[in-house]
Chains A and B, each alone.
Chain A
Amino acid sequence: MKNLLLIAYLDLKESIRAKWFVVYSLVFGGLIALFFIAGVTESQVMGFSGLSRLLLMYIQITIVILPIFILVTTVRSISGDRDSHVLEYMLSFPISLKQYYWGKVIGRFVTVFLPVFFAMVIAVIYGAVKGAAIPWDIFFLYTGLLFAMSSAFLGIAFFISSFVKSSEVALGLSFFIWIFLLAFIDIALISLMMQERMSSGLIIFISLINPMEIFRVAAISLFDPELTVMGPVAFYILDSMSQTVFVLVSIFYPLFLGLIFAFLGYKIFEKKDLV
């Protein structure tokens, strides 16, 4: 336990000093600042105004950039250490592979989640100072969704990192996974739906097992519980489960997915040659 926390702590410290972390924090902090400067809280679009409007925009942008940030910065965590022979030296001390791997996972999770979370906290504090009503329910549910999405992509990144030999391949794979989940899968499913080769239910199911998609729909459902903006797809989802159950699934499914991938990554890390 002591070693696990030590690894997590050292990884956290190392990440905080890294340039990517500064950029990462500036992007999410800057987004919130930009929204305030642009007067998003004063605007009204589709009935959403104030902090709710700001959080809605924040989450929509986060869907796109958070996964790629997590993948790119984390995927080199173990493969980069292996590449540069850091792993060879650090593992020459009696530290178990389990503690090393999971310590890295915990340290990296804190690093990627906190800036995104703090950006939201800053928005809420600034909004409160300006006298805006704080949508606490949306704030807490978004925190849950961000936590779950961070877990999912962190798990996928550690999974890739555990078996890829070089950092370049790891980065290439990250970009592919990101663009695949962000766009390719939707384009493929839309074309399948248009050709009516598969049942619509199956297509919607495939779409929703994509952690980015379920996050997107859950985020919409917080503002629009009937999912009216989504059209007929809303019937398939809300006929299968209530909105509350759907939001819970949206939080626990990516969390579970992340843990599964991280665990698979650990098994590969344990069974493969270490350097």
Chain B
Amino acid sequence: MIKVTNLTKKFGSNISLDNVSCEFKKNESIALMGANGAGKTTLVRSIMGYYHPTGGEVLINGLNPIKNRLDVLEHISFVPQLPPPIKLSINELIEYISVSAKVDKNLMKHYANEMKLDINSNLHKSFFKLSGGMKQKLLIAISLAKKSNVIIYDEPTANLDPKARDDFYRLLKQNEEDKVLLFVTHRLEEVKDLVNRQIYMDLGKIVSDERF
């Protein structure tokens, strides 16, 4: 599904990814780990097509994420580590996603309810005015409603209370079939029950890759 071949990404003289090769297949749940500056975020951003590689290539279902942006992103859900300060109201954000990614609005509301987020009473509130946990819950609900083949979570539980984490794990278990789940995390114990592969990065390289 995702094939990374000899991927190198430099920012000036700083090498963020150094000749990285890996492959993520259907039904794999991967914990992508490593210290700060190891290259995890750069790898994720390269997969999403945000970065132009200095060398090598990334293919998602055989497609280049920069040249075939729309086709590739149709199959990817992404939740960032920190919810961005989007000034749109929740209603407008849902409208944006519904039109651009053809995601069913009711499904987004359904998953928001499953995450115990009362979306209807907050529809006209700006997204950035929600609490950290509420924002994260909404982004998780959107990622699940999108029904993508590839779901990328960057520290998804950072803002969630224990109850919300349980809801998140439960929903993820129900939706993991035939997908690639990629978790960028510092704490393996948080996603241990969900993952079947662990990749450790350091200084822009993959230093260990274990399946279990």
Contact = CB atoms under 8 A, between A and B. Distances in A.
Interface of A: 2-3, 6, 10, 13-14, 17-18, 84-86, 88-97, 271-275
B84 A84 contact: yes
B84 A92 contact: no
Interface in B117-174: 126, 139
A89 B80 contact: yes
20 contacts: A2-B99, A13-B92, A14-B88, A84-B85, A85-B84, A86-B85, A86-B86, A88-B84, A89-B80, A89-B83, A89-B84, A90-B86, A92-B73, A92-B77, A93-B101, A94-B74, A94-B101, A97-B69, A273-B50, A275-B45
Nearest to A95: B100
Given A13-B88, A17-B87, A274-B50, 12 more contacts: A6-B96, A6-B100, A10-B92, A17-B126, A88-B80, A89-B84, A90-B86, A94-B70, A94-B73, A94-B101, A96-B70, A271-B52
B84 A93 contact: no
Contacts of B85: 84, 86
A243 B99 CA distance: 48
A60 to B, nearest CB: 34
B95 interface: yes
A93 B73 contact: yes
A10 B70 CA distance: 20
B50 A6 contact: no
B183 to A, nearest CB: 16
A6 B99 CA distance: 8
Residue of B52, B70, B71, B139 ringed by the most chain A CB atoms within 10 A: B70
Contacts of B74: 94
B50 A94 contact: no
Nearest to A3: B100
A92 B78 contact: yes
Contacts of A3: 99-100
B76 interface: yes
B101 A10 contact: no
A259 to B, nearest CB: 24
B96 A10 contact: yes
Contacts of B70: 94-96
Contacts of B139: 89
B1 interface: no
B97 interface: yes
Q: What 9 A-B pairs come out closest when comparing CB atoms?
A: A92-B78, A94-B73, A85-B84, A274-B50, A95-B100, A86-B84, A94-B70, A93-B101, A93-B100
A94 B78 contact: no
Given A94-B69, A94-B70, A94-B73, A6 B95 contact: yes
B89 to A, nearest CB: 8
A89 B96 contact: no
A166 to B, nearest CB: 15
Interface string B168-210: 0000000000000000000000000000000000000000000
Contacts of B50: 88, 91, 273-275
Contacts of B87: 14, 17-18
A4 to B, nearest CB: 11
Nearest to B78: A92
Contacts of A275: 45, 50-51
Interface in B49-76: 49-52, 69-71, 73-74, 76
A96 B69 contact: yes
Contacts of A89: 78, 80, 83-84, 86, 139
B168 to A, nearest CB: 18
A85 B52 contact: no
Residue of B49, B78, B82, B99 ringed by the most chain A CB atoms within 10 A: B99
